[in-house]
Amino acid sequence: MLVSSLDMAHFVARGFLRLDAVVPEEINQAFLHALNLPETFRPESPTAHFSELLGREVIPEVAPGTRLSQAYASDSAIGNMLKLPEVAGAIESLVGRDPVFDHHFLHLAFPEAAFRKHPERHISQHLHQDSTIDPRQTFDIQVFYFPHAVTAFMGGTRYLPGSHFRIVSEAAISRYQNIIGQEHVVCPAGTILLMHMGIWHGGGVNRSGQLRTMFKIRLCPAVRQQQLWDCTDLAPEHFTQQPTFWTRGGQRDPVQKVLMTQEPWFEADTGRLELMNRIRCWRFLLGDPQFDIDYWLTRVENEIS
């Protein structure tokens, strides 16, 4: 089930796609049960609890470079989650069929009880971009799997929509505590968030009494990311320049509209550069080097010699 052009434009503009409660409870419970047997959960000792989890076979050791189809047993909870048509279709639309596994990790946010001896450590994670400086146009995705419901008190992943084209160096952005428009994941069980590799994010502080669990997989494309989604829904007017600034308010191509909607935190000048970043990315995805919206790129490419 490939995503639509509108969904793809949303990913390009904001840096993520969200599939709420897409994973059935049966798979969520199978995943959680294998991870978190009550008799072994030790909230007072996060390190010991984590060491025990590393020994569980529910999350296998997988070498980077492995094809996703070979990374997980097909009858495992993770294997079943990845086979869901909505999940498999979204992954294929973004990074192609059978992408390359980079790494995975189980993120746990322990409740306050785990920090009785060191309350100063019960804080949110600084804002960061994963990996390191990465100026590629080819992009990886990170699949965030929330196997149980996440409430506002549980400190779900905080992320900044539209930050994914910013070329920064991992934790260099940790000084930014709050930015207008930041979002915190609050979601039903079985929600999947597919993030562009560059999105700024951080774990929240867990103020509930329950352990918060999130499983993340990074995937890299093995093919050129060109028209991998269902782009049969693009209207002819999508590819033509439309009047801009001085218009009579007619209906705008909805995909163009999504791509040209700014985030509330964009600066007055660099917000325009972000629109250009999106158009460049859309050109790359369409395989159409002439594509433009509102003349942003054509204007500065009109070099006559």
| CB nearer another protein, residue 165 or residue 229 | 165
| Residue 276 Cβ vs another protein, minimum distance, rounded to whole Å | 6
| CB nearer another protein, residue 37 or residue 167 | 167
Q: How far apart are CA 18 and CA 7, in angstroms?
A: 10
Q: Give the number of C-alpha atoms closer than 13 A to the C-alpha of residue 79, restricted to the C-beta side.
A: 11
| CB nearer another protein, residue 51 or residue 177 | 177
| Residue 176 Cβ vs another protein, minimum distance, rounded to whole Å | 5
Which residues contact another protein by CB under 8 A? 123-127, 158, 165-168, 172-180, 182, 184, 202, 204-205, 264-270, 273-274, 276-277
Residue recorded with tokens 């995975």: 104
- Own/partner pairs for 55-63, CB < 8 Å, 24+ apart? 58/31, 58/34, 59/35, 59/104, 59/106, 59/215, 62/101, 62/103, 62/104
Residue 25 in 3-state DSSP?
helix
| Residue 303 Cβ vs another protein, minimum distance, rounded to whole Å | 13
| CB nearer another protein, residue 85 or residue 264 | 264
Phi (first) and psi of residue 272, to 5 degrees:
-70, -35
| Residue 196 Cβ vs another protein, minimum distance, rounded to whole Å | 14
- For residue 218, give the amino acid letter: R
Q: How far apart are CA 6 and CA 28, in angstroms?
A: 29
Cα dist. 214→53, 222, 253 in Å?
13, 26, 37
| CB nearer another protein, residue 26 or residue 170 | 170
| Residue 223 Cβ vs another protein, minimum distance, rounded to whole Å | 27
| Residue 169 Cβ vs another protein, minimum distance, rounded to whole Å | 9
| Residue 40 Cβ vs another protein, minimum distance, rounded to whole Å | 30
| CB nearer another protein, residue 52 or residue 263 | 263
- For residue 26, give the amino acid letter: E
Q: How far apart are CA 232 and CA 8, in angstroms?
A: 12
Q: How far apart are CA 152 and CA 124, in angstroms?
A: 13
| Residue 171 Cβ vs another protein, minimum distance, rounded to whole Å | 11
Residue 113 in 3-state DSSP?
helix
Kindly give the interhelix angle for 270-286 and 5-14, rounded to the nearest 10 degrees.
140
Q: Would you tell me how many other CB atoms lie within 10 Å of the CB of residue 299? A: 10
